[in-house]
Amino acid sequence: MSTDTPAAADGEPMSEEALRAQVEELEEKVASLETELGDDGKKMTIVATKGSFDMAYPPLILASTAAAFGWDVVVFHTFWGLDILHEEKSADLKLSAVGNPNMPLPNSIAALPGMDRMATKMMQKKIDENGTATIQELIDLSLEQGVDLQACQMTIELMDYDEDDFYD
């Protein structure tokens, strides 16, 4: 049965009146949910699972930008993403040259000792020249704007980290 008219529970086409009543009921449910949210639903949750130099930027940029627009933002850091919140480790994140499709080097050269350090320094130089915020500045900005930066407790225990080593 292929019709353009929605079917009722008994399989018969719905009357226009029944269809209008169903639409009205759904609109009331949506309005009720919006009232419960109280903030127009402007919420964002980001999961940060990678802690390399280049992968620290996306969650922090998204979080600080959304917070600037009034969104309620949570960034959950787990596994290597936890290094972004680790005060000591976040200051020394590296950009991996191996396996990075945007690196203009074959993996055989990118795997040479010191290539990650060189790639990181090149990116840091580009960031400085462009006036782009550093990872530390983005963390500070996120915290100032009320972004909830959460550290995965299980990963803290798994990696044998001390909770005092993380940003408050």
Tens-digit pLDDT profile for residues 108-163: 776 778 778 888 888 889 889 999 898 899 999 999 999 999 999 999 999 888 88
* Tens of pLDDT, residues 25-77: 998 888 887 766 665 668 999 999 998 888 899 999 999 999 999 999 999 99
Question: Looking at residue 47, what is its pLDDT?
Answer: 95
CA-wise closest residue to 47 among 57, 56, 59, 55: 59
Q: Give 74's strand partners.
A: 45, 148
**Domain boundaries defined on the chain:** 40-159
Look at residue 85 and give its three-state secondary structure: coil
Q: Would you say 125 and 118 are in contact if contact means Cβ atoms under 8 Å apart?
A: no
Q: Give 120's strand partners.
A: none
Output DSSP code: residue 24. Answer: H
40-159 is a CATH 3.40.50.720 domain: no
The predicted model scores a pTM of 0.68
